[in-house]
Structure formats: structure tokens, C-alpha cells
Amino acid sequence: MSTPLNSDPRIDQAAVTDESLQSAHDVLLGKQPDEKARYKLLPLNLLFLFSGLIFLAGTYLNRYAGHFDPHIYNENSIPVKGGAVAAVVVDPVVAGKKLFNNAACNTCHMVNGVGQPGAIPPLVGSDWVTGSEERIIRIVLHGLQGPITVNGANYNSAMPPFGRVAGSGFNWSDDKIASVVTYVRQEWGNQAPPVTTAKVTEIRTKDGDRKPWTVDELQKLP
């Protein structure tokens, strides 16, 4: 009988047999860790932490920022030491002029209030500006759309709402509405009484949230 090849002493035997290699591979493959499925809790904890901080910061600003109204806080003012702090009296015409020139007002009605022929009605010498204060307050609060005749010329454009109403991109306070209305009623040669914040509040409360006015709707009001 012949001697098996793998037991022949004349042939160098492998240090590791095929069976032992296969067994070792099976053990390693059976215990292979799934590194891709592992995650650490630290990044998740940081995500929740920063999300909470952002939420708290937004809540704080919404409650205490005063809608970033310059009348409420002035970072350039010098603190008064001792005694009562004198109330700061803001000229509504000055405040209204700043609002008029920094918002979209002067883009449409122009800096000199003459508007744009055939497109935007003028504010200079307009009965809509110097007439009923309730009418112009409503226009600034809720906006105006549709045809309108000013100083004998016809226009058909839309004015956006500036009050804190649905669809407004400005959300002006009653103080700001009163200031800018007072400004246009007393600028460029216009001579009309100022508008008070209380009057704006009264109109806002009475009308609530509504769509832009039309000329026909305004003319039907008392």
C-alpha cells in the first residue's frame, strides 16, 4: 500500500492545515463587528443642545426685543446717573421721515412725494393724504388696490399693507403708522393735523385683520 501524499516524510508539511484555516476564517467571519451600524450619542446630544439654545434665543428675542423698534431701545444713548430719567420725546415728523425713506415708501412715491406718472399716485397736494385721517390710516394699515383718482389723474396700482395684519411684510406698530402718516400729511407743502398713536390703535381695533381696501369701500365709510 502506498503512503498518502500528505504523510510522506520526504515532503515538508504545511504549518497550518486547510481545515484549521477554514475553521479560523469561520470564527472571524462569525464575530465580525458591524462598524457601520455603530454610532455615538455625543453628536446627537450636541444637536439637541444647540437646537434647544436656538429655540430659547428665538423665544427671548420675540418677547424682549420690542420688535426692534428704535423708540424702545437706543444703543447709542448715554445712561443718566441719579435722579429720574427724563422721557425722550420723539418728533413724529422726524421719525416718520426716517421710516418713509428707509422702507418701500420712497421707492414708489419718490423722495419728493410726487409719485410716478401713470403708475403711482402722488402724495403732494392729495386729498387722500390731507383729508380724512381715518381714511389714510386705513390705507397704510391694510393697503389699497384698484383704480383711484388723485389730483385729476387716474391710477390703478396696489399699495401693500404696513400694519401687523395677515399678508403684511412690514408689521409696523401703531407708533410707526402714526409717525409716517403725520409726516406725509405735513411734508412737501401739505398742511394737515398730525395723527396720534391712539387714533391708529382705534382704527386697527375697529377694523381688525382684513384685505386691502378699495376706493369704493373707503368712500362708503362715514
| pLDDT tens-digit series, residues 5-24 | 555 555 555 556 777 777 77
pLDDT of residue 178: 93
pLDDT tops 60 at residue 31: no
| Rounded Cα–Cα distance for residues 193 and 185 (Å) | 7
| Cross-strand partners of 194 | none
Contact 103, 169 (CB under 8 A): no
Closest CA to 163 of 120, 194, 110, 201: 201
The span from the CA of 119 to the CA of 124, in Å, is 15
Residues facing 172 on adjacent strands: 163
The pLDDT value recorded for residue 121 is 92
pTM over 0.75: no
Query: Roughly how many angstroms between the first and final C-alpha of the chain, as a whole number?
Result: 128
Q: Report the distance separating Cα 216 and Cα 214, nearest Å.
A: 5
Residue type, 207: D
Query: Mean per-residue pLDDT for 92-101?
Result: 87
156 in Cβ contact with 146 (< 8 Å): yes
pLDDT tens string 36-67: 555 566 677 888 888 889 988 888 877 777 66
C-alpha cell at 191: 398742511
Look at 102 and 76; give whichever has higher pLDDT: 102
Cell numbers linked to 211: 384685505
- Spatial separation of the C-alpha atoms in residues 125 and 114, rounded to whole Å: 9
Rounded to an integer, the average pLDDT of 84-107 is 78
Cell numbers for 41, please give them: 450619542
Rounded CA separation 155/146 (Å):
8
Of 112, 118, 113, 110, whose CA–CA distance to 128 is shortest? 113
Do residues 95 and 172 touch, judged by C-beta distance below 8 A?
no
Distance CA 107, CA 155 (A): 17
Residue bearing cell 457601520: 36
126-183 pLDDT per residue, tens: 999 999 999 999 999 999 999 999 999 999 888 888 887 665 667 888 999 999 999 9
